[in-house]
Amino acid sequence: MTPAEDGVPETRASGSDAAEFDGYQEIEMDAVAELGVDYAFRLEPDGTVAAVTGGVERLTGESESTVVGTSFERYITDPDLEDAFEAFHAVLSGETVRGITLRFSRDEPLWAEMNAEPVTRDGEVVAVRGAVREATERRRALEQHSAAMRGAIDGMALLDDNGHYLFLNEAHAELYGYDRQELVGEHWSRLYDGTEHRRLAEEAMPAVRTVGSWRGEAEGRRRDGSTFRQDLSLAALDDGFVCVVRDVTDRHQRQQLIDVLDRVLRHNLRNDMNVVLGEAGAIGRAGDGDAARAAGRIRERARNLLEISDTARAVREVVASDGDPNATDLRAVARRECRLLDDADADVTMDVGGRPVPVACTGLRHAVAELVENVLEHACQAAEATEGTADGSVARVSVARTDDDGATMGLLRVADDGPGLPTMERLTLEEGRETPLRHGQGLGLWLVNWVVTRAGGELSVGERDGGGTVVEVRLPLADGAMADQTA
């Protein structure tokens, strides 16, 4: 145990100087200077104050000469006497106590934090010595913080500079399987195994000291030895730090399930469907009539399943992405995806050139691709049915900047003269959810809704004059783009 770790002068367990006043005084004066405590003390086994140093008068209201020779209980408030005697007798039995909080009797009681340890000679405890820091302001701040934490759902705790618990709410204690009071005064490392303790000590604690906070995942250890995954957030205070813990075991289990399903969709399903496509192609080439038509239907369904597999992978990429997305030019993305329309059997016009429209939107490429493919499909259907409209255009894709209630947004607009979006698909696109009686035909429109909603944008679906569908996506401009909008 060192002073830097526990706030108590180093124990001198051997040699006669440990019990001599002059040697003791030198040790304790060094402690006051090095530890920044308000005063240090030594008590005889009967509780009599043998020596005090530092600012004892500020805490007790009496001078050093008056305090020496009196019993320590004289200066402790009645409600805290039981705790004081319990700590005193624990030290007499050879234990070291730390983080004891007591109130000193004054007109307005003063709070103090105390560490104490035994002074030994020839293997016997001959005195109790310790260091005390005045903590009234700290206690008031602690009470304010703890009042806010008590009803919190997440596990929350306050720890001192050395990592010992000052306060924790019920949720924090329950996560680890302890009662609250069992952890007060304990070091946080008790709740992690050796490997995780070392990692957090090397990674998290330096970040709290240098930048003021740290957040990440860790593996906590419960009282029964079992472990659980947790989100862990640490934030520095003037003389300690706040710890917030949330059990994310269920989230990790869900992620494992998602990974398995993703692997099935990406590998097993794709491989099997490629085999089906190949076999159906062989059947179609070898046969005619009903056999060839059946082979064609099989190939069509297999291609649909492969598209679902690709969209599922895109959904996973969007949902799993972390952090803030980089600014992306909506025009450039739309222009790139519209190249798919070059060989379309329909007359499609595009207005995707001009000034960049930078937006910050995770999964933007996937959402634009889905809408462009959708308009292509409907345009081709309309071209087959009507051979084009009077102006020769059956679909349109455009990108622009628009002002909505004073806010400049990026606007992607896709329209077609097709049969229109089915009601089920329209509701899925607008609301982003299904019911037992309402199911969309695929994941694509879900993906569009998720991408737009996550970016803080708006999505609307309407009917086009003369028939068909109009889908409009409005996305906030990326940070920094607003300053350039008048350039």
Give me the architecture of the 323-484 domain, per CATH. 2-Layer Sandwich (3.30)
CB contact at 8 A, 340 and 379 = no
CB contact at 8 A, 372 and 341 = yes
Domain residue spans in the chain? 3-134, 138-247, 251-320, 323-484
Residue 260 pLDDT grade (very low, low, confident, very high; cuts 50, 70, 90) = confident
Superfamily of 138-247 according to CATH: PAS domain (3.30.450.20)
Total-model pTM: 0.45
CB contact at 8 A, 370 and 444 = yes
pLDDT of residue 9 exceeding 70, the answer is no
Share of the chain above pLDDT 70, in %: 74
Residue 134 pLDDT grade (very low, low, confident, very high; cuts 50, 70, 90) = confident
The pair of three-digit structure tokens given for residue 102, joined into one six-digit string:
């007591």
Question: For position 470, what pLDDT does the model report?
Answer: 87
Question: For position 394, what pLDDT does the model report?
Answer: 65
Q: Which residues of 56-78 are buried (b: 16+ CB within 10 A; e: fewer)?
A: beebbeeebeebbeeebeebbee
Q: What CA–CA distances, in Å, run from 120 to 13, 19, 87, 88, 405?
A: 5, 8, 17, 15, 78
- φ and ψ at 324, to 5 degrees? -85, 135
Rounded to an integer, the average pLDDT of 46-70 is: 84
Same fold for the pair 3-134 and 323-484: no
Alpha helices (runs of H) in 125-179, residue ranges in sequence order: 136-149, 170-176
Q: Which amino acid is at 480?
A: G
What mean pLDDT value characterizes the chain? 77
pLDDT of residue 197 exceeding 50, the answer is yes
Residue 439 pLDDT grade (very low, low, confident, very high; cuts 50, 70, 90) = very low
Rounded to an integer, the average pLDDT of 454-476 is: 84
Highest mean pLDDT among 69-73, 250-254, 263-267, 401-405: 69-73
Question: For position 427, what pLDDT does the model report?
Answer: 65
Q: What is the CATH number of domain 3-134?
A: 3.30.450.20
Question: For position 425, what pLDDT does the model report?
Answer: 64
CA distance 222 to 196: 13
Highest mean pLDDT among 106-120, 212-226, 344-358: 212-226
CA distance 365 to 330: 9
Residue 236 CB-density burial (10 A; 0-12 exposed, 13-18 middle, 19+ buried): middle
Residue 243's DSSP bridge partners are 157, 234
CA distance 114 to 331: 66
Alpha helices (runs of H) in 212-269, residue ranges in sequence order: 249-263
Residue 208 pLDDT grade (very low, low, confident, very high; cuts 50, 70, 90) = very high
Q: In what order do the strands lie in the sheet with 49-52?
A: 49-52, 39-43, 124-134, 110-121, 97-104
Residue 273 pLDDT grade (very low, low, confident, very high; cuts 50, 70, 90) = confident
| Greater model confidence, 141 or 291 | 291
pLDDT of residue 18 exceeding 60, the answer is no
CA distance 459 to 414: 12
Q: In what order do the strands lie in the sheet with 469-476?
A: 348-351, 395-404, 407-416, 469-476, 458-463
